[in-house]
Amino acid sequence: MTDNLHYVTAWQRNDPKLEADAIAMWSDMGVLHPSVSPEQRAKQLVTLAYVGDRLIGITTAEVSRHEPVRQNIAFMRLLLRPETERQGIAVPITIAMRETLREWSAANPAAQVAGCGIIITAKGYGAQPVLPAGLALAGYTPEGLQIRLYWWDHFRLPVA
């Protein structure tokens, strides 16, 4: 299934085709909460994974202040079609997403984005302190889900 796998960078491109593909996949899978606007979420696309012309993976990110570390973090989301979840796509697409956001952060220092993060909702990732994509355990949500962070090498904490 992954013979024709390729990634497309979508971060801040406002590409109508990529956005329509993502909205169609979210709709097909029924994964967005009714309170989430697919059109607004599509503006947060980072990296898309395709096999041929079929979209099989979507990553999005939202930059917000993460109070436990007192910094802006690009919190990432990853969605894979169920039939591709165990085909080794999660780590490469996460790394592609991380690197796209890192490069954007370095090119846009005024945004003051210190790194990226993810909340792990999938089962089976709890044992490693640092995941293969470099995301280190940084705490837990009130629901007990792991919060993982990756700090950019170019970011420096403000000195008080």
Measured distance CA(111)–CA(42) in Å, rounded: 20
5-151 belongs to which homologous superfamily? Gcn5-related N-acetyltransferase (GNAT) (3.40.630.30)
Domain ranges of the chain: 5-151
Read off the pLDDT of residues 5-48 as tens digits, 9 standing for 90 and up: 999 999 999 999 999 999 999 999 999 999 999 999 999 999 99
Q: What is the pLDDT of residue 2?
A: 61
Q: What is the pLDDT of residue 131?
A: 82
Kindly report the pTM of this predicted structure. 0.90
Q: Which are the contacts of 1, defined by CB distance < 8 A and separation ≥ 6? A: 51, 83, 84, 87
Residue 114 confidence (pLDDT) above 60? yes
Q: What is the pLDDT of residue 66?
A: 95
Residue 115 confidence (pLDDT) above 70? yes
